[in-house]
Every structure is written in C-alpha cells, then in structure tokens.
Amino acid sequence: MTSLKDLDDAQFAELYGSDRFTASVLASRMRYIVQHMCTGLLNNAFSLILRDWYDFAATISGPPEQNYPMSSVSNSLAMFLGTMSEAVRNTIEEYGPENLNPGDVVICNDPYRAGNHVNDVCFIRPVFHEDKLISFVTLRAHQLDMGGVVPAGFSGTKRNVYENGLVIAPTLLYRDNKPVKSAFNLIFDNARFCALLLPDIKTIYQNLLLGEQLILESVERYGVDAYLGAVRYATDVSAESMRTALAGLPDGVYEAEEGIDCDGVDDSIEYRIRLKITKAADRMELDFSGTSPQARTSINAGILDTKTAVGVALKFLVDPVTPFTSGAYRPIDIVLPAGTFISATPPDGAVFLYWESTGPVLLAVFRALEKALGRKAVGGDYGSLNIHNANGVLADGTPWVTTAQCGGEHGPWGATEAGDADSYSVVYQANNLDPATEAIESEVPAVVLRKEYMPDSSGAGENRGGAAVLKDTLYLTAAEHWSSPLHTKSASGVGVYGGRAGALGATWVFDPDYKNVPKEKDLIGTDPEVYAGSTPVAGMLDPRTRTVDPDGEYFYFASTPVWHTKPNAVFRYLTNGGGGWGSPLQRSPERVCRDVRDEYVTIEGAYRDYGVVITGDPHGDPEGLKIDHDATAERRAEMAVK
C-alpha cells in the first residue's frame, strides 16, 4: 500500500480533490471548527455538568455516500468520541437522509443506536451545499436530567430502560431553523430541571449553526471537492498512522481479564471481561467472547461504548500522536457478542454507568498488551469514577441536585516510561475538568471538606503511580444518595514493566450522630480508628475496624440502594491508587526521599516498598530528611533476593 507521503502531487489531487497543502489546511480547520463549537458551548452553558465537567464533544462527519466518516473530534470528553461516528450514521440512516433539509437538527439519545447514556443527547445538524448534503456537525452534550426514576440519572440500581430514562429515537428538533415544539415537549414533559435544559439546548443549537457556518465558509474558499476530499484525507491519515503503529508491535495472541465488582441487585455476581487480542502485521482483532452476560441493572455499557474504550486504549498505548478520527479503527476489528455487560441490549440491559464497565475494557487492553509493549506499557488508573449523585430540598422547598461533583470522580493515573503519574485527573477514558469547590458550594448545600492524597497508595515503581485521592463532603440538608464505586475488589491501578499495583479504594458515610462536623467545628480524622464509627458503602474492608483490607470482606455499594442521610452527614471517598512502572528497586533513593518529603510515601513505605531507609520527620521537618545509603543498599539487596 502506498504511503500518503509517497503519493505524488497528481495522485494526491486525484484522490483528495486538492493539493496536499490544501487538504492539510482543511483537515486542521475541521479540528478548529469543532473546538470553536465547544468553546462556544462551554462559555454559555448553564448546567453544571456542561460548565464544570466539560461533558460534551463535537464532531464533523462526512456525507452518506462516504459512509459518514468522522473527520474531526473535539478535545473534550473522550468517552463520546468512538460512539459518534455510529451515532451519526445510525441516526441519519434511520431518519432517512432524503428527509433532511437545510435548517434541520435531528436528535437521538438511545444508547443502543447512538452509544453513551440517555442523558447524552446527540444533536446533529446536516450541512448542505447547493442543495447537496455534504456533512454533519454534531454536538453530544449531557443534559442534566432525562427522566427516569433517579433525579439526574446517575445510579447503578435502575433495572431496565423504562426506569432508566427517556429514550429518544431519531427525532427532528428543529425544522427550517425553528424549534419543533412537539419534540421539546417530549423532553420537557419527561425531564427534570427544564429551566436549565432549555437554555443549554438553545446554546447547543447556536453552536451547531457556528459549525455549519464555518464549514460553508471553508467550502466557499476552497471548493466542495477539496472539502469532501479533506474529510477522507483526515480519516486516511488516522488509518495509516494506526496501521504503522500496529506494525511496530510483535505479532501474537494476547489475552487478559478484567471486570467490575457487581451490579445493583446484589453482590452475588461478578462481571468479567474476557479479551483475546490477535495482532498480525498491521492488523488487530479484539475478541470479547466469554464476557459475562449483561447485568441486571444500569451498570451496563453499550456496544459503541466498548468501541470507544478500544479506540482510546489503542490511541493511548500505540498511536498517541496523531489526531483521533474514525479512521483510527480501519485496521481494527472488534468481535463482540450482544447481551454482555459491555454490549447490553434492550429492554432489560439498562445502560447508564457505561464507563464503569468499559473502563475495564480499556484496562484489559492495557493488561493484554503489557508484554508486547515492554517499556512502552502504561500503568492502570483509579478505575472507577466513583460518581456520587445526591438530591434533596432546601428549607424554602427548592430542590437541589449534585451529580459527579462530590464523589471520588477524580484520581490518579498509572506511571509510564516518561515519569511518575499525575494524582488528580479523570479516568483514562475521560478528558474533563474538575468542578471548582467554590462552584459546588455556591449551588449545592454541600461543603467539600477534604481533597487530599493518601500516603503509600501509589503503585510503587521506578516511576511511581499517582496517589489515591481522599475526599470528604458534608451535606447540610437531608438527602438521598446514589453511590457507584464499582471497582473496589481488585486493583485497577495495574503495575507494569515490573511496577506494582496501586492500593484499593473504598467509600464510607459518617452519620452526624457519630461526628457532627459543623457543631464540633472539626474535620473527621484520617487515622484508622475513625472508620469504626462509619457505615461502609463499598470496598474490601476489615469488618471490625472498617479500614481498607484487601483480604477483608466485600462491602456492597447497593446494599442500601438509596442512602438516606440526615443533615450534616459526611461521605468519604477514597479512590484506588495508580499503577507503578518499572521495578521499585530501580527508583533512586533521592526520588523516594522526595516522595517522603511530599508525603506521597511514608518512611515505613519507603522501607517496605522501595528498600530505602530514611530518617527524620516528614511533617515537622521535611527538608531535614536523611537517606541512610548503607542501610538502603543492604535492604535493597535483601529485597532483590526475594
């Protein structure tokens, strides 16, 4: 196959309808357009999930005769990106491209047709040039509520699509640039918080117009043939880049297993992904046969979410440099039976916490390819968004809701060849912001008491995994809570290249009768003895002390499906730790000492995990710490023998 770079000018022009420079400019401009659409949405969004979480993505797709290639994606929520090429194709093919007119917007939020969950509504705008359909601009944006039995939707306990929320098949939302009132009524008669949804949808619509306008300006300047050629060129570049990257991996069959703790009915079933990767030359096949059947509640993912996880994992591991387009999948085939918990089917396979199930898909790819990647292997992250969804009523009767703000949504990544991992990010499949504490506290009757790192939770290694995050939130009113830590039984922070796994996380709730934080004007401590007074929500815990213990008992997140609390209750989330890279014995004593100074590692942890002997007082005199080099050499020699 001739490389794109080896095409001569005439060949290039014949393939792509323009010279090479123009095609590159147009491909870059498409990325500029989707980014501009996102900036417009971010600047004008009203609801917290868009404004504070960046929970949206924009894409450009080509026309039906090109089979809807997705030529550019925004630098935003990665979990959306692999679903959106199918979302556009499936929505428009069902609606009928022949039924589209300039001025239309079509929506769809069905997880089985378009991926993600019902709150992630796809808004698709056809772009016409001289009465010919040439493209689609799409914004998928999380709507704060889309009906169902749980306000704001985030719950792992909903049992089917009927409890899950409103499913919208491909539906016209705007015609001739005017709202279709029946479509708005369909949403607003089923969803909560419509006073927020309406301005958000109007903002989304305006940014679709912006995307359309910028595409048409591009066409006017460079010609429609060059534009359509650039759509294909952008995806061809991705395909070639992925092919080249795959060719660099050793051929072979690579297998891995991963999973989540359980679903929302009981803890009697563990859900496991079985992955077999076959790699030959510049092609790869990922077969998920053997994966557990779909769960009984809304922890499932859809087929397209699994496709995203595969794409994100492979871009992350083997082809991280070039922009993501649908072309990245060209050398990859996914073999996936329907009806598993990562390919759920309607009406019983409710899809909501889809990233909790596809995070392990990504992790399974990481695990499977570890040996093939060698030094390029990447450690696992904290594995679960630990999303917390709560709602209640203020004293004046105003309802409030918090979603994905006050759980363990942010945490550590795994280490790489390049260095230590970040300790406060979002899971690999996301690419979001962290809601500001001030924003949370200004809108929700909650106080974020702590966001701090847990010493000795990082996966030890020559390069250290990120540290687990401990987060406490005080709820000032009575509230009902849905907690969803789904990866607590085993480490998600997988260690690679000789590195060790990160520590396990857990979740607890502290009743105000045990400790009334506002009254006592004192935080709940972090010493082991405080947990005896807690109610465990999830995790592997010592049943007596209720502290984290990998050999303890499993405490089940939905043992109480809805956690009802009195005013001044505190939820505590501890994320998993990130995986280490390389042997801990190869980490220089100076770097370990710096970790002790910064309280990522304790003096005891330095000795136990790294074989580094340090004396001094990290808290009282952090700059006075001393390395005992002789004792360190002795300890490391002992550890090396073991």
Binding site for another protein (CB under 8 A): 67, 69, 85-86, 89-90, 93-94, 110, 112-113, 161, 169, 235, 239, 259, 262, 267-272, 274, 278, 280-281, 283-285, 287, 289-293, 303, 307, 326-330, 332-340, 343, 345-347, 489, 540, 543, 553-556, 559
Using the minimum distance from each CB to another protein, give the nearer residue, 273 or 570.
273
CB nearer to another protein: give 67 or 213. 67
Cβ at position 333, least distance to another protein in Å = 4
- For the CB of residue 277, give the shortest distance to another protein in the complex, in Å: 11
Q: Is the bond preceding residue 455 a cis peptide, omega within 30 degrees?
A: no
**What is the three-state SS of 9-78?**
HHHHHHHHCCCHHHHHHHHHHHHHHHHHHHHHHHHHCCCHHHHCCCCEEEEEECCHHHCCCEEEECCCCH
Q: Give whichever of 55 and 282 is closer to another protein, judged by the CB atom.
A: 282
Q: How far is the CB of 487 from another protein (least distance, A)?
A: 13
Which residue's CB is nearer to another protein, number 235 or number 358?
A: 235
Per DSSP, helices labelled H in 403-467 are: 437-443
Q: Which of 592, 533, 147 is nearest to 352 (CA)?
A: 147
Q: In the complex with another protein, which residue's Cβ is closer, 88 or 596?
A: 88
Instruction: State which residue, 44 or 278, has the beta carbon closest to another protein.
Output: 278
Residues 208/123, Cβ–Cβ less than 8 Å: yes
Cβ-proximal residues to 549 (8 Å cutoff; 6+ apart), any chain: 540, 541, 542
Residues facing 507 on adjacent strands = 538, 573
Q: Least Å distance between CB 148 and another protein?
A: 16
Find the radius of gyration of the CA atoms of the chain.
25
Q: Is 404 left (phi over 0), alpha (psi -120 to 50) or beta?
A: left
Q: Residue 281 or 418: which CB sits closer to another protein?
A: 281
Q: Which pair of tokens denotes residue 325? A: 């387009």
Give yes or no for a contact between 245 and 319, defined as CB atoms under 8 angstroms apart. yes
Nearer to another protein, 111 or 461 (CB): 111
Q: Which residue has the tokens 């220089």?
A: 588
Task: For the CB of residue 311, give the shortest distance to another protein in the complex, in Å.
Answer: 10
Written as six digits, the tokens of 217 are 């300006």
22: its two tokens? 């123009």
Residues in CB range of 308: below 8 A, 6 or more apart: 78, 79, 80, 81, 82, 83, 115, 358, 429
Q: Which is nearer to another protein, 239 or 440 (CB)?
A: 239
The distance of closest approach from Cβ of residue 66 to another protein in the complex, given in angstroms and rounded to an integer, is 10
Q: Which residues does residue 414 pair with via DSSP β-bridges, in sequence order?
A: none
Q: CB 275 → another protein: shortest distance, Å?
A: 11
**How far is the C-alpha of 308 from the C-alpha of 69, rounded, in Å?**
15
Closest contact distance (angstroms) between CB of 251 and another protein is 9
> Least CB distance from residue 3 to another protein, whole Å?
19
